[in-house]
Structure 1
Amino acid sequence: MPLVAVPLLDGGRFDPRQAEGRALIVYWWASWCPFCAQQSPEMQKLWASQRARGLQMLTLSIDKQPEDALAYLKQRGYSFPAAWMSPEVARAYPKPDGLPVTVVRGKDGRVAQAEKGQLFAEDVAELARWL
């Protein structure tokens, strides 16, 4: 799974070098998606509890406007790294069918796990096994 640098909604930048030799979770979501609304708090818990252990995460909002995604993140207090799916980002990280979609890129750079649809709390917590 090739990676490219992308701008983050908080003004930062996702740098692919961050994920070299580490597990990376890529999570496609939208502010209007009811299933994402159930999974995103669990993704935040995973990020908060595992980032110190080396977890890398890149979440990709498919909202029509970046402002919608940013407002959603701020309103809910989410701090996981989030980018907006601009046309350029969409070319680099094409969204698979379905929503939400969660992909784990293993330490070796290959897709280790791919899930379409909502993951429940225990499923999200289990993603830490890839660290």
Structure 2
Amino acid sequence: MSSPSNTTRRRWLQTAAAGLALPASAMAQTKPAKEPPLPAVGSALALAPAPLLGGGQFEPAQAEGRVLVLYWWASWCPFCAEQSPEMQKLWQAQQGRGLQMLALSIDKKPEEAVAYLRKKGYTFPAAWLSPELLKTYRKPEGLPVTVVRGKDGRVAQAEKGQLFPEDVALLARWL
């Protein structure tokens, strides 16, 4: 659990972040007419096959009976730039325990996401959120967005906005 100082700091930063405006060009690239709210804890979360940016494919069967972390991000998002290294640490530490991850880039072009992943050395499974994938993996409001799908196929946790390192590490509790 977070200490009161971390909780206070988190609320202040989330409030401050909400007041920051992204450039209009960045918003125009990615924001559909209406983004859905975060999925409700306990709700079923459907999955679809997704071609991975590093090659291969994510198959929904990979997540059956396992914990899946879905992470919506963008190469231009400053909050994602802070959270993504922590997601990489989580992936490296927990994939051997059965953790599944699917990071969904909302960049305008898949090449932008590929270049960013390569530059940063990230190895977590990532897909580009194409119009086809967007039908299943609709990005909830906010960025970054982190959703944990439990072993039962239902949402165990849903967060919008940057998670702190200790919050990302705590996602392993669902394993």
| TM-score interval, smaller chain | over 0.9
Is residue 17 of structure 1 aligned with residue 48 of structure 2? no
Correspondence for 2:98: 54
Correspondence for 1:118: 162
After TM superposition, give the deviation of residue 92 of structure 1 in Å. Answer: 1.2
Matches within 5 A, 1:1-131: 1-131=45-175
Tell me, in whole angstroms, the C-alpha distance in 2 between the residues paired with 1:55 and 1:27: 13
After TM superposition, give the deviation of residue 11 of structure 1 in Å. Answer: 1.6
- Secondary structure of the equivalent of 1:92? coil
After TM superposition, give the deviation of residue 71 of structure 1 in Å. Answer: 0.2
After TM superposition, give the deviation of residue 105 of structure 1 in Å. Answer: 0.2
What is the Cα-based RMSD across aligned positions, in Å? Answer: 0.4
TM-score normalised over the length of structure 2: 0.74
Structure with bigger strand share is 1
Tell me, in whole angstroms, the C-alpha distance in 1 between the residues paired with 2:49 and 2:162: 26
**Which sections of structure 2, spanning at least 5 residues, go unmatched?**
1-44
TM-score normalised over the length of structure 1: 0.99
Select the structure of larger CA radius of gyration.
2
Tell me, in whole angstroms, the C-alpha distance in 2 between the residues paired with 1:2 and 1:68: 27
User: Matched residue pairs, number?
Assistant: 131
Runs of 4+ in 1 over 2 A off after TM superposition: none
